[in-house]
Amino acid sequence: MNDYLYHFYGACNWDSTKGATISRLYNDNLKQIKIVFSKSLAEQRVIVAKLDALSAETKKLEAIYQKKLADLEELKKSLLQKVFRGELS
């Protein structure tokens, strides 16, 4: 149940109060959220497993994306060095 609520709260659009550096979430924010869940604990576990798998895949894709960005930045630097040295025409 806790994992289900964790994912549910992560998907909520919180209307939090913005402080100078910290967003604040008050009890009134929580009271306004209607929690929709299956009464079947087994179904909740299936939903959590699917969300965990999607989260893991998202993190994997993000890591691949970040690696590709870093590789492109290195390629750009390398090409610029070759251009300035006159090695490319």
pTM tops 0.75: no
Q: From its phi and psi, is residue 69 left (phi > 0), alpha (psi between -120 and 50) or beta? A: alpha
Domain ranges for the chain, please list them: 2-84
Q: Which two tokens stand for residue 13?
A: 């659009």
What per-residue confidence (pLDDT) applies to 73? 97
Could you report the per-residue pLDDT of 10-46, keeping only the tens digit for each? 777 766 555 556 666 677 777 777 777 778 889 988 9
The Cβ-side half-sphere exposure at 76, using a 13 Å CA radius, reads 6
What per-residue confidence (pLDDT) applies to 89? 67
What per-residue confidence (pLDDT) applies to 8? 76
* Torsion angles phi and psi, residue 18, rounded to 5: -90, 125
